[in-house]
């Protein structure tokens, strides 16, 4: 299975789906996913706990799910939040309306049950949902629990505001005192009705005071994913070190390094000038030896390695494979310069490794240009002198033998053989290129070719 795909279970049938995006809205998390048959599925979670999934035929306009993907905080897949939700709620099974009701009655308060039911109006007939929520209100009214009953009315006012029952009951004088409290949105009321509180605080999250109240509320419920999403949102519109440090602490506490890096990189795309974030990313890249990303930040954002980081990279470069050296020469040149300036004793070892790896795939003239920054302080190094010599010889057909021997010294046998072959063509009476060709082919493990050139050399010397 592809890393991005996962299974949902519809009765006995397995459905393989690919997540497309996730929305965090109010207390819900909703994952949108597409099946192999191009059918759209939605997975519903409440405070990070799986409820059910549903196949979408069409979404009702102005429904909860539509608001979730227009007013909520939405991330495209892949995303760590999707992985966390799925891994902590496996297996995800589709259940029908009656099992869903039983699940809600068992695990949630009547207010939460009423609110959760509003998620499903695009999948379950709205009339059924309305009647179920209304029945909760009647239980409270029969028990004389006016305030709890009015909490349900407020949910219905969002769910079906024009329904005659809702308009009639919400205007009943018996509920006027509660209506006034809700209109005032006092802290006392928000502490009593947490569903309404989150709705109000979320709608006013751009206000610093309301934002902090919302964070405090989420912290009490240990809803770290919502907190991370909100801090990212807040930073995107109002970058501040305090918000960033709170976000960084959450990422360190709940996500691994790769997941945290993923979120910070996407935030960095929105905040290209926010230095605390850039510095953290740069330090992460150095710590995890991501040379390309380190180079990118050094090149495009003028970051510099600290002495300790230079020391780290000096040790890394000593053990780096030749393929990495060869594939990113300009990038490594910048880092090598920093390392050798601080640790000049490493110059010979690192430059030797650097040059040998480059010679496999690059022209000598290009390598000479890369070594230019090192010449002033390290021009006496044998490797730099050899590259100067090789560059001078490369266009001189009379010096192919010498150039070939230099390539041989670097164990670049194919290039050495090419030079010796030229020398043999240009000087057919000389045994030396034949001797070297035999030697080079022997080193490559091609004994048949080696023997052939050795015999040619013997025959040449006999006929001399």
Region 90-112 average pLDDT = 94
User: pLDDT band at 341, cuts 50/70/90?
Assistant: confident
Angle at 174 between CA 169 and CA 175, to 5 degrees: 65
SS (H, E, C) the chain: CCCCCEEEEECCEEEEEEEEEEEEECCEEEEEEEECCCCEEEEEEECCEEEEEEECCCCCCCCHHHHHHHHCEEEECCCHHHHHHHHHCCCEEECCHHHHHHHHHHHCCHHHHHHHHHHHCCCCCHHHHHHHHHHHHHHHHHCCCHHHHHHHHHHHHHHCCCCHHHHHHHCCHHHHHHHHHHHHCCHHHHHHCHHHHHHHHHHCCCCHHHHHHHHHHHHHCCCHHHHHHHHHHHHHHCCCHHHHHHHHHHHHHHCCHHHHHHHHHHHHHHCCCCHHHHHHHHHHHHHCCCHHHHHHHHHHCCCCCCHHHHHHHHHHHHHCCHHHHHHCHHHHHHHHHHHHHHCHHHHHHHHHHHHHHHHCCCCHHHHHHHCHHHHHHHCCCHHHHHHHHHHHHCCCHHHHHHHHHHHHHCCCHHHHHHHHHHHHHHCCCCCHHHHHHHHHHHHCCCHHHHHHHHHHHHHHHHHC
> What per-residue confidence (pLDDT) applies to 2?
41
User: For residue 286, which of 266, 300, 307, 260 has the smallest C-alpha distance?
Assistant: 307
Give the integer Cα–Cα distance in Å for 136 and 314.
Answer: 68
DSSP β-ladder status, 73-76 and 49-55: unpaired
Do the beta carbons of residue 397 and residue 433 sit within 8 Å?
no
Give the integer Cα–Cα distance in Å for 314 and 345.
Answer: 11
More confident residue, 318 or 148: 148
Q: Is the pLDDT of residue 330 over 90?
A: no
> What per-residue confidence (pLDDT) applies to 442?
92
Contacts of 108 (CB under 8 A, 6+ apart): 46, 116
> What per-residue confidence (pLDDT) applies to 324?
66
Do the beta carbons of residue 57 and residue 42 sit within 8 Å?
no
> What per-residue confidence (pLDDT) applies to 327?
67
Alpha carbon 228 to its chain centroid, in Å, reads: 15
> What per-residue confidence (pLDDT) applies to 1?
31
User: pLDDT band at 305, cuts 50/70/90?
Assistant: confident
Torsions phi, psi for 5 (to 5 deg) = -85, 155
Q: Is the pLDDT of residue 306 over 90?
A: no
User: pLDDT band at 210, cuts 50/70/90?
Assistant: very high
Burial grade of 242 (CB within 10 A; 0-12, 13-18, 19 or more): exposed
Q: Is the pLDDT of residue 392 over 50?
A: yes
Give the integer Cα–Cα distance in Å for 410 and 176.
Answer: 91
Average pLDDT, the chain: 90
* Peptide bond before residue 211 is cis, with ω within 30 degrees of 0: no
pTM (2 d.p.): 0.81
> What per-residue confidence (pLDDT) applies to 149?
94
Distances (CA, A) of 260 to 83, 280, 371, 394, 449: 13, 11, 38, 50, 56
Looking at domain 396-464, its CATH architecture is Alpha Horseshoe (1.25)
DSSP β-ladder status, 73-76 and 6-10: unpaired
> What per-residue confidence (pLDDT) applies to 101?
95
Region 242-250 average pLDDT = 96
362-376 tens-digit pLDDT? 889 999 999 998 888
> What per-residue confidence (pLDDT) applies to 346?
86
Give percent above pLDDT 90 in the chain. 58
162-201 tens-digit pLDDT? 999 999 998 888 888 899 999 999 889 999 999 999 999 9
More confident residue, 309 or 40: 40
Question: To which residue do tokens 């060709």 refer?
Answer: 437
Burial grade of 227 (CB within 10 A; 0-12, 13-18, 19 or more): buried
What are the domain boundaries of the chain?
A: 1-122, 125-203, 219-280, 289-393, 396-464
Beta bridge partners of 211: none
> What per-residue confidence (pLDDT) applies to 322?
64
282-291 tens-digit pLDDT? 889 888 888 8
């Amino acid at each position: 299975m592809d890393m991005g795909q996962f299974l949902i279970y519809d009765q006995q049938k397995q459905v393989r789906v690919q997540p497309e995006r996730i929305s965090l809205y109010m207390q819900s998390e909703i994952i949108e996913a597409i099946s192999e048959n191009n059918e759209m599925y939605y997975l519903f979670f409440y405070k990070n706990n799986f409820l059910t999934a549903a196949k979408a035929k069409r979404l009702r306009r102005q429904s909860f799910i539509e608001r979730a993907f227009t007013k909520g905080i939405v991330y495209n897949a892949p995303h760590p939040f999707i992985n966390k939700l799925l891994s902590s709620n496996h297996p995800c099974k589709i259940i029908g309306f009656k099992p869903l009701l039983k699940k809600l009655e068992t695990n949630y308060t009547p207010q939460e049950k009423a609110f959760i039911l509003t998620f499903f109006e695009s999948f379950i007939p709205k009339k059924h949902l309305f009647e179920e929520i209304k029945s909760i209100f009647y239980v409270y009214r029969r028990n004389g629990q006016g305030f709890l009953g009015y909490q349900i009315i407020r949910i219905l006012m969002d769910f079906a505001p024009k329904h005659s029952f809702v308009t009639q009951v919400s205007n009943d004088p018996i509920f006027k005192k509660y209506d006034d409290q809700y209109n005032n949105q006092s802290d006392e009321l928000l502490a009593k009705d947490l569903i309404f509180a989150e709705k109000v605080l979320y709608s006013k999250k751009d206000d610093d005071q309301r934002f902090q109240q919302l964070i405090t509320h989420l912290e009490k419920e240990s809803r770290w994913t919502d907190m991370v999403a909100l801090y990212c949102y807040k930073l995107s519109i109002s970058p501040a070190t305090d918000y960033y440090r709170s976000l960084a602490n959450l990422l360190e506490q709940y996500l691994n390094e790769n997941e945290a890096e993923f979120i910070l990189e996407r935030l960095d795309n929105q905040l290209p000038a926010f230095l605390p974030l850039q510095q953290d990313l740069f330090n992460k890249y150095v710590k995890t030896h991501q040379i390309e990303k380190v180079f990118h930040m050094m090149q495009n954002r003028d970051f510099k390695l600290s002495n300790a980081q230079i020391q780290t990279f000096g040790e890394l470069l000593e053990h780096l494979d030749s393929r990495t050296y060869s594939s990113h020469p300009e990038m490594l040149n910048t880092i090598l310069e920093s390392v050798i300036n601080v640790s000049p004793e490493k110059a010979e070892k690192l430059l030797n490794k650097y040059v040998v790896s480059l010679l496999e795939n690059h022209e000598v003239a290009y390598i000479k240009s890369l070594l230019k920054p090192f010449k002033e302080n390290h021009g006496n190094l044998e490797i730099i002198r050899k590259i100067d010599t090789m560059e001078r010889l490369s266009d001189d057909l009379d010096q192919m033998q010498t150039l070939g021997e230099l390539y041989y010294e670097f164990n670049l046998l194919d290039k050495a053989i090419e030079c010796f072959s030229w020398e043999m063509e240009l000087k057919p009476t000389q045994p030396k290129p034949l001797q070297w060709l035999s030697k080079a082919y022997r080193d490559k493990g091609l004994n048949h070719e080696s023997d052939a050139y050795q015999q040619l050399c013997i025959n040449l010397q006999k006929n001399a």
